[in-house]
Chain A
Amino acid sequence: MKRLLSGNEAIAYGAWEAGVMVASAYPGTPSTEILEHLARFPGVYAEWAPNEKVALDVAIGAAYAGRRSLAAMKHVGVNVAADALFYAAMTGTEAGLVLVSADDPAMHSSQNEQDNRQFARFARLPCLEPADSQEAKDLTQAAFDLSEQFDTPVMLRVTTRICHTSTLTEVGTRREYPTRIEKYPRNPKKYVMVPANARGRHPVIEQRILDLAQFSETFVPNRMEMRSTSLGIITAGVAYQYAREVFPEASILKLGMVYPLPVGLIRKFASRLERLIVLEELDPFIEEQVRLMGIQLYTPADAPDYSPNAKLIFPITGELDPDVVYLASSRAGLIDVPVPGKSKGKIDPGLALPGRPPVLCAGCPHRSTLYILHKLGLPINGDIGCYTLGVTPPLNAIDTCGCMGASIGVAHGACVAGDNERHFAVLGDSTFFHTGMPALLNVAYNRSNVITIIMDNRITGMTGHQENPGTGLTLQQKETVTIELEPLVRALGIERVLTLDAYDVEAIEKTLKAWVKEDGPGVLITRHACALLPGERRGWMTLKVIEEQCNGCTICFRIGCPAILKSEKVDPKYNRPLAQIDPLMCTGCEICARVCPRDAIPTREQILEQEA
């Protein structure tokens, strides 16, 4: 039966049908739904790990134990997991091991757009890349087989466009896989990577990649589609779809395995065509290697002076789409007639369009802390999560943000460098569990003055509400231990620790103002469940502004709540717009009520009293 499946659902189906037993991941856009779907299949153990390195170690252990296993993560998660990836490449495993890397060209929800095909080459691993959901499913299954055939982890590389696009996919049944070994391996030469053993393994994995290159020549998902001989396109992944859209007549070499490349097949394809181009997103990964083979690629007349790392025709940055491909091809002289129906740039609405940037939701418990931090005016080292949105006006409350867990280490670095301002580190509960913990241990151990604020909203928020070690539930909805932050932080060596309700603006302000005057590190936990969680939603209530008491002082506008609007009414004395609350958005969190100096916004309690 064919069904519309997203790429992520298709990967889950592929893994399940291939008999996967263990899957581990840390949530990250665009990869999150892979494990969410896989967790619902029978016969699969699926978990959220605290970070990607742990997730990959878990999958490796399961594969050592002879069970087919999978780890999934966003592209930058592979940076965190890289140490594990490289030893697993050296050891191989007893059963199939697949790493899904979900890259994010265009950075829809990421800090960079690194091309993780490079990791496959770096670690000497085969890399498969699907062009739609059917292929995502098929190649996931092929990846498990390849992994066992060649004793290697296999990378399945997908991109946001594949993960989040639904296409027709044939679904089947599970092929049960017996555990491949009788006993956990006692084979130190293969599995204990001390130098003497590792030296023995290195030539093995170099030979393995040569064998895989040979195999790739006849790997069915590497296929030639011969049409006109005037133009040939070597392509892979979603770029294949754009090649078909923009060049319906061209011949195509569609690669399902992008590393190692089938050299013979590429030479054969090239020899049949008058002009040859490579169409791929991001890095010139295939293009560079094809040029290294000495194959002449079509070079536009105005191509920049040959740099070995430049792309000849298509952009190296951003996501491709039919328009980008069309435009670059037209500039390169590959297309000379405009494509019919192109109206690009013709319709100008002739009106200024207000932007619609993402904002912290109305009722977000992070808002109060970010508001106070901004007021204090000290440097704020941020992290990855919803609270990163605190960078936008009017909160302007994040000064640095690089990657998961960076906030505390960066703040500590600035401190020990002798920077004369007091530094804050700000991160969420899930990010603290991810990589914040070792950095906080460092603050305690090496005694810096960093004040860390853990915004504990009781969930992994930004990726769409995933359980984590602090929530008391597992991915497969089993009850488990709830890891309490305060004792954990104390155990890491921090003595000054306090937990406050995240909506308690006054207490947060008072505490932080006192702490900046005192020496030594501190951790403030501002705790309140995400306003969008079902339990919180049930308590939503709408607040109102009492117009007679509002004089348009603007303080409530400065908390950046999307439920607070500037009214059309103005204060007669100061001629400033009054505040107004959007009843459809307000959750009744009371942050505005607490910052209002004129008590113009009654609290829930006051409203209920009045009603009674």
Chain B
Amino acid sequence: MSTQKMNFMLVGVGGQGTLLASDILADLGVRLGFDAKKAEIHGMAQRGGSVTSFVRWDRQVFSPIIPRGEVDILVAFEKLEALRYLEHLKPGGMLLVNAQVIEPITVKAGDAKYPPAAEMQAAFERAASRVCWVDGLLLAEQAGEARTANVVILGALSALLDTPAESWLDAVQAHVPARAVEVNRKAFMLGRENILVEA
């Protein structure tokens, strides 16, 4: 996909670093010469709730919220959250899923069931033109810091867009502390090289 007008939706669980990833993605849009907006919804809890954000790149962006059914790429930091927001994808949109499962309290308490993997996979395939996977946590640990999973996911996302890695890395560098630049660079490259794109 060439870099053009883009609508990204990032979804995950509080504490996964979706908001930092959204900041980096919006910043990248500006670095590429676009107008960009980033909107986020985070509920009351410090951790553990559902977190969503929108990043839009265009010549001129108006609404910070992407109309339902107009998301080009849905980036899910957690599998169940991918399922929850599938309907925001445009027909032909792409889905990038981090292979992590974080059971919500309703499941832990035994009041609800986490959907079975095969059924989730089928729903993903019905909604998205392409389903891509990345194992953010595993690759982040390989990079040397579990907390860089969000940057691993950005690395994977970068492989879906026709943008040089250096532009991405510049944006990442601007948003992480100086001492963490190296580990984040490693995490980014691991994500970029290890994305699994299903046909």
Contacts and interface: CB of A to CB of B under 8 A. Distances in A.
B123 A341 contact: no
Interface extent on A, as a size class? 35 or more
Of the listed residues B27, B70, B114, the one surrounded by the most CB atoms of chain A closer than 10 A to its CB is B70
Interface stretch (B40-48, B153-161, B188-196): B40-48
Contacts, number: 168
Given A165-B37, A341-B90, A347-B127, A354 B104 contact: yes
A4 B36 contact: yes
Contact of A351 (B41, B61, B123): B123
A356 B69 contact: no
A349 B123 CA distance: 5
B64 A161 contact: yes
Contacts of B68: 323, 342-344
Given A351-B120, A359-B105, A461-B46, A326 B67 contact: yes
Contact of B48 (A354, A359, A577): A359
Contacts of A323: 67-68
A343 B123 contact: no
Interface in A288-344: 321-323, 326, 339, 341-344
A354 B37 contact: no
A164 B42 CA distance: 10
A112 to B, nearest CB: 15
A135 B70 CA distance: 27
B151 interface: no
A185 interface: no
A577 B83 CA distance: 28
B139 to A, nearest CB: 17
A394 B64 CA distance: 37
Interface extent on B, as a size class? 35 or more
A371 interface: no
Nearest to A554: B110
B49 interface: yes
A343 B109 contact: no
A181 interface: no
Nearest to B37: A167
Interface string A469-503: 00000000000000000000000000000000000
Interface string B22-34: 0100110010000
Contact of A354 (B13, B67, B80): B80
Contacts of A165: 37-40, 64
B170 interface: no
A242 B70 CA distance: 15
A164 B81 CA distance: 21
Contacts of B87: 343-349
A109 B14 CA distance: 15
Interface stretch (A187-195, A375-383, A561-569): A561-569
A79 to B, nearest CB: 20
A225 interface: no
A389 B123 contact: no
B89 interface: yes
A352 B48 CA distance: 20
Nearest to B110: A566
A564 B108 contact: yes
B83 A168 contact: no
A297 to B, nearest CB: 23
B38 A166 contact: yes
A109 B119 CA distance: 34
B86 interface: yes
Main secondary structure of the interface of B (DSSP, over half): mixed
B64 A244 contact: no
B112 A354 contact: yes
A361 B112 contact: no
A356 B26 contact: no
Nearest to A322: B67
A361 B108 CA distance: 14
A566 B90 contact: no
A355 B91 CA distance: 25
Contacts of B69: 341-344, 346
A429 B151 CA distance: 37
A321 B63 contact: yes
Of the listed residues A351, A356, A357, the one surrounded by the most CB atoms of chain B closer than 10 A to its CB is A356
Of the listed residues A349, A360, A464, A562, the one surrounded by the most CB atoms of chain B closer than 10 A to its CB is A349
Given A321-B63, A356-B80, A565 B120 contact: no
B156 to A, nearest CB: 22
Contacts of A354: 80, 104, 106-107, 111-115
Nearest to B127: A347
A367 to B, nearest CB: 13
A143 to B, nearest CB: 23
A150 interface: no
Interface string A227-256: 000000000001001101100000000000
Given A161-B64, A341-B91, A461-B46, A166 B106 contact: no
Interface in B103-162: 103-115, 119-120, 123, 126-127
Given A4-B30, A108-B41, A562 B108 contact: yes
A397 to B, nearest CB: 16
A348 B61 CA distance: 29
B114 to A, nearest CB: 6
A557 B109 CA distance: 7
Contacts of A353: 80, 83-84, 115
28 contacts: A2-B30, A132-B37, A161-B64, A165-B39, A238-B64, A244-B63, A321-B65, A342-B68, A344-B68, A347-B127, A349-B87, A349-B127, A350-B119, A352-B115, A354-B106, A355-B106, A356-B49, A356-B81, A358-B43, A358-B45, A358-B48, A359-B48, A461-B46, A562-B48, A562-B105, A562-B108, A564-B108, A565-B108
Interface of A: 2, 4, 108-109, 132, 161, 164-168, 238, 241-242, 244-245, 321-323, 326, 339, 341-361, 386, 389, 393-394, 461-462, 464, 532, 557, 560, 562, 564-566, 577, 582
Given A354-B80, A361-B48, 9 more contacts: A108-B43, A242-B62, A322-B63, A343-B87, A354-B115, A356-B106, A358-B49, A564-B108, A566-B108
| 6 A-B pairs with least C-beta separation | A358-B45, A343-B69, A354-B112, A356-B104, A245-B63, A244-B62
